[in-house]
Amino acid sequence: MQHRLPITAFTVTSALGPGCAAHLDAIEHTRAGLRREDFEGAALDTWLGRVADLEHTPLPPRFERYDCRNNRLALIALAQDGFEDAVRRAAHRYGAQRIAVILGTSTSGIRETELAYQQRNGGALPATAGSYRHRHNLFSLPEFVRDYLGLRGPAQTISTACSSSAKAFASGLRSISAGLCDAVVVGGVDTLCFTTLFGFNSLELLAPSPCRPWAADRDGISVGEAGGFALLERDGEGAIVFEGYGESSDAYHMSAPHPQGAGAALAMQQALAMAGCTPADVDYINLHGTGTLANDRSEDFAVCRVFGPGVPCSATKGLTGHALGAAGILEAAICLLALQHGLLPGTANTPARDPDLGANLLLEPRRRALARAVTNSFGFGGSNCSLVFARP
């Protein structure tokens, strides 16, 4: 099986702003993108990582049938950092039918159906709900992206809650290895909706102030939204290489992590084994770090078990919010920026590490050249994924 795929282009948009430059700047200055919850009358006592102006940027008329908050964010992300041009070059090189689109999302355009239910008054759904396939269905995202980019290869959505877009990297690598395609657009998009806001509220996991991962008094998550993409190619010149992945299941509980992070540790160990490296070869870990008591404790246990207490780590959800199904691509992009620019992010909002936790948590950003970074993404259903990226 072919490992080590070059990443020939990548981009991301989140509450930190559009594109790689906005993210690099926010990380360098630990400028958080969170704000008080102000989403469509939800009236919850929490903070959000919300992308500005999605309400005012409809898709062009040609793609109107796909128009929803999620695909709007997809289009914004596609148009940045030369990503579209890179895909078009790859399509020219390999053929449009040899490029796959594998993207993660947990809720796609579900907001359209939520709104239709608000309007139905006990009767039938209004006609606005009619484009279920192109807006709400989970496949809407890769179908739109494939259509917009003029690609003709395989396409699918990975939907495993908060590990979705990390697992898209794993599926993309396997697809190239199996010969199904020569290049893959991976990544994902997840956007604000009531299902996740009120869902996390029902679990009493929404933090009333900006989330503080790894802090002793951490009290929950700040929900965010993000969209991002990376182009993996069979061969080519990339500044960064995708070296390996690890995937596991907790087999423990539908919405709570394994207390000792057994599944998480397994995912990290498998990722290192596939990358052919040891824990000592890793210079930075971007933690899943959601900011709930149980999640951070479980992940800390797993990180310390696999890596010991030395490897610098940070949790960036205090900057961006938890982008759920898009957390994987968002934090992969942060790792790629860290590798490219020699900049380790800090952990926004967290004044000090919980003394009961052991990972080497960076509170402030640090400038230091690094060769290899790991990112963790864990989701409901006990779905775990770790990715390894390196400078070639």
Partner 1 sequence: MSAFYVRGIGMQAPGMQGWSACCGVLSGRVPYSDQALVPPMPEILPSNERRRATASVRLALSAAQEAAAASGVDVSAFATVFTSSDGDGVTLDQICNTLARAPLDLSPTRFHNSVHNAPAGYWSIAIQSRHASTSLCAFDASFAAGLMEAAAQVAAGPAPVLLVAFDLPFPPVLNPLRPVSVPVAVALALSADPGSAPMARCALAFEASAAPAFAGQGGLDALYANPAGRALPLLALLAQRAPGTVRLEYLDSCSLAVQAQPF
Q: Which of 62, 254, 355, 367 binds partner 1 (CB under 8 A)?
A: 254
Q: Which of 251, 355, 356, 367 binds partner 1 (CB under 8 A)?
A: 251
Does 381 interact with partner 1 (rule: CB under 8 A)?
yes
* Minimum gap (Å) between residue 251 Cβ and partner 1: 4
Does 275 interact with partner 1 (rule: CB under 8 A)?
no
- Size of the residue set binding partner 1 (CB under 8 A): 69
288 included as an active-site residue: yes
Strand partners, 374: 285, 388
162 included as an active-site residue: yes
Give residues with Cβ within 8 angstroms of 290, minimum separation 6.
211, 213, 221, 296, 315, 317, 322
Does 212 interact with partner 1 (rule: CB under 8 A)?
no
Stretch that binds partner 1, among 66-74, 114-122, 220-228, 292-300 (CB under 8 A): 114-122
For partner 1, which is the closer residue by CB, 114 or 219? 114
Here's the x/- map for partner 1, 159-178, by CB under 8 A: it reads as xxx-----x--xx--xx-xx
Taking alpha carbons only, the member of 199, 109, 91 closest to residue 150 is: 91
* Minimum gap (Å) between residue 254 Cβ and partner 1: 4
Could you give the CA distance from residue 10 to residue 3 in angstroms, rounded to a whole number?
19
Q: Which of 201, 209, 340, 360 binds partner 1 (CB under 8 A)?
A: 201
335 included as an active-site residue: no
Could you give the CA distance from residue 352 to residue 362 in angstroms, rounded to a whole number?
10
**Which positions from 123 through 142 interact with partner 1, judged by CB under 8 A?**
124-125, 129-130, 132-133, 136-139, 142
Give residues with Cβ within 8 angstroms of 381, minimum separation 6.
160, 161, 249, 254
How do the residues of the chain divide into helix, strand and coil, expressed in percent and rounded to 5?
40, 20, 40
Does 202 interact with partner 1 (rule: CB under 8 A)?
yes
Q: Which of 165, 191, 248, 295 binds partner 1 (CB under 8 A)?
A: 248
Taking alpha carbons only, the member of 227, 7, 20, 197 closest to residue 103 is: 227
Q: For 156-197, give the secondary structure using H, E and C.
A: EEECECECHHHHHHHHHHHHHHCCCCCEEEEEEEECCCHHHH
Taking alpha carbons only, the member of 331, 339, 367 closest to residue 282 is: 339
What are the C-alpha distances in Å from 365 to residues 32, 291, 313, 338?
A: 13, 19, 11, 10
Does 253 interact with partner 1 (rule: CB under 8 A)?
yes
Does 266 interact with partner 1 (rule: CB under 8 A)?
yes
Taking alpha carbons only, the member of 287, 297, 314, 285 closest to residue 355 is: 297
List, by residue number, the catalytic residues.
162, 288, 322
Give me the residues that bind partner 1 (CB under 8 A), please: 1, 42, 97, 106, 110, 113-114, 116-118, 120, 124-125, 129-130, 132-133, 136-139, 142-143, 146, 152-161, 167, 170-171, 174-175, 177-181, 194-195, 198-203, 247-255, 262-263, 266, 379-383
